[in-house]
Amino acid sequence: MLAKAVKEIPLGPLSYEPKWDGFRSIIFRDGDEVEIGSRNERPMTRYFPEVVAAIVANLPGQCVIDGEIIIPSSDGLRLDFEALLQRVHPADSRVRLLAEQTPAAFVAFDLLAVGDTDYTGRPFTERRAALTEALAGARAPVHLTPATTDAELAGRWFSQFEGAGLDGVVAKPLDGPYLPDKRVMFKVKHERTADCVVAGYRPHKSGPDAIGSLLLGLYNDDGKLASVGVIGAFPMARRRELFAELQPLVTGFDDHPWSWAKQETGVRGPREAETSRWNAGKDLSFVPLRPERVVEVRYEHMEGTRFRHTAQFARWRPDRDPQSCGFAQLEEPVSFNLADVLAG
């Protein structure tokens, strides 16, 4: 079941929950057999052996439960999505090692079935009550997500929980059934703006004469340009216009801040990931541009020094000096302890 984005926390007969920033997963358990399904239908079971063990230890013997796989940071204060990405690795030995070094947790937020009982046609109030009962004896790393019908409290969660790395708030109709692939929930996510330097582009899959995505950079305190993410949602006609507009800025790697030779220690550049973790055949190399153009983008939040999700184009900023585009402009959320969120 999916959610549609809204600008403000909606009011009405709704249940509000934190929006977790992890891998959306549906757990299928039948005795000792466990399968972890993902939203894009990629099997996730082999990547999280410690989650499988926790499910066997904590969930009912036969059940189907919707939730999120997360990894806390090393200090336990916030979510660590980068560590979660590292868990998707082809080598079983690496998966086992990371399961010990960066163990994942599972946060349950909906129940589809227990035993022979199908709950998908029942209202969310019944599903939540059954889920609470099913997880009554569960212990970490299996958690029941906090939930409230108080919109004012949900508003406080929206502001506070970001400091623990969470994504926003989700609202579910209290009387709604579970409808797979339907956007019947609501999600409210943080949105901010930042002025970034355009330092390269990747060609569109349709051909070399259209822009696939623009590579964004921000200057750190040492004056080095760090790669912070991309923007890529343009109509096809605009992709070709951008290609023509940017050709005068095309340069070589010798004098580019993201060249291999000049890669700064501790400053992440896009050349570190020129193949995709999710698709080994996808080429992520890029065409370098002189870092002279500034673009204002909309973003939700940062994961370390990068935008957590693909940023959105807002407008060009010809009035901005590229050297003035630094991390200092970014709004920092107030810190909040992840353990307090998991404790409900």
Q: Look at residue 35 and tell me whether its pLDDT is greater than 60.
A: yes
Rounded distance, CA 20 to CA 326, Å?
28
**Catalytic-role residue among 7, 19, 172, 282:** 19
The domain containing residue 277 runs over which residues? 192-329
Residue with tokens 């993902």: 38
Cα angle 123, 126, 127 (rounded to 5 degrees) comes to 85
User: 292 and 208 share a domain?
Assistant: yes
pLDDT score at 268? 53
Contact by Cβ (8 Å): 228, 218: yes
pLDDT tier, 145 (very low <50, low <70, confident <90, very high otherwise) = very high
User: 15 and 41 share a domain?
Assistant: yes
Q: Look at residue 280 and tell me whether its pLDDT is greater than 90.
A: no
Where among 190, 206, 240 does a domain terminate?
190
Contact by Cβ (8 Å): 88, 22: no
Average pLDDT value for residue range 170-175 = 98
Domain count, the chain: 2
pLDDT tier, 59 (very low <50, low <70, confident <90, very high otherwise) = very high
User: 163 and 263 share a domain?
Assistant: no
pTM score: 0.74
Rounded distance, CA 28 to CA 112, Å?
10
Average pLDDT value for residue range 325-340 = 83
User: 8 and 76 share a domain?
Assistant: yes
Active-site residue 19, yes or no?
A: yes
Contact by Cβ (8 Å): 26, 1: no
User: 302 and 180 share a domain?
Assistant: no
Kindly report, residue by residue over 202-235, the tens digit of the pLDDT: 999 998 899 999 999 999 989 999 999 999 989 9
Burial of 119 (0-12, 13-18, 19+ CB in 10 A): buried
User: 51 and 93 share a domain?
Assistant: yes
Where among 167, 190, 213 does a domain terminate?
190
Contact by Cβ (8 Å): 95, 49: yes
pLDDT tier, 190 (very low <50, low <70, confident <90, very high otherwise) = confident
CATH number at residue 314: 2.40.50.140
Listed range (130-139, 231-240, 333-342) with the worst mean pLDDT: 333-342
Kindly report, residue by residue over 315-328, the tens digit of the pLDDT: 899 888 999 999 98
Where among 152, 170, 190 does a domain terminate?
190
User: 302 and 154 share a domain?
Assistant: no
User: 98 and 179 share a domain?
Assistant: yes
In a domain, 344, yes or no: no
